[in-house]
Amino acid sequence: MHTIEDSVRIDAPADKVYQAITTTEGERAWWTKDCEVGTRVGDQAAFRFDEGKMEVRFRIDELSAPQRVRWTCIAQKNNPDWQDTTVDFRIAEHDGQARVDFEHAGWREKSRVYEMCVGGWTHFLQSLKAYVETGKGTPHGA
């Protein structure tokens, strides 16, 4: 199995970053405009791209405010490489700054989609940073 890992420092408290990752409003501001995010463990989060032509649906496995968010991909449309992968955000705060350690794990192979997602996650983590710090991210569909 293969894993995409990245980290980003954000000039904001951890709870502000956590809210951006765990709410529909937050996700729409930095990842994709077309999404709905559940609020409890066991709920689902759905993220759509390209006018709904591609979708990934996650089960929310962990919400440990403000330190961790973990999801498992339980369904997909036109994106089989994501099926059964996990997404994990670990958030730590030091002197009012947050550090997000990101992991997207469980990839069966380093496919073309995997390689696209390496760059995609780099972009979207920078979008998360911009959104939390300035109120303006660069989500898909904006």
Homologous superfamily in CATH for domain 2-134: START domain (3.30.530.20)
Which tens digits make up the pLDDT trace of 66-88? 999 999 999 999 999 999 999 99
Handedness of CA 53, 29, 70, 41 (dihedral sign): negative
pLDDT tens figures, 42-58: 999 999 999 989 999 99
Where do the domains of the chain lie?
2-134
pTM of the model: 0.95
Segment 113-138 mean pLDDT: 97
In this predicted model, what pLDDT tens digit does every residue of 14-48 receive, in sequence order? 999 999 999 999 999 999 999 999 999 999 999 99
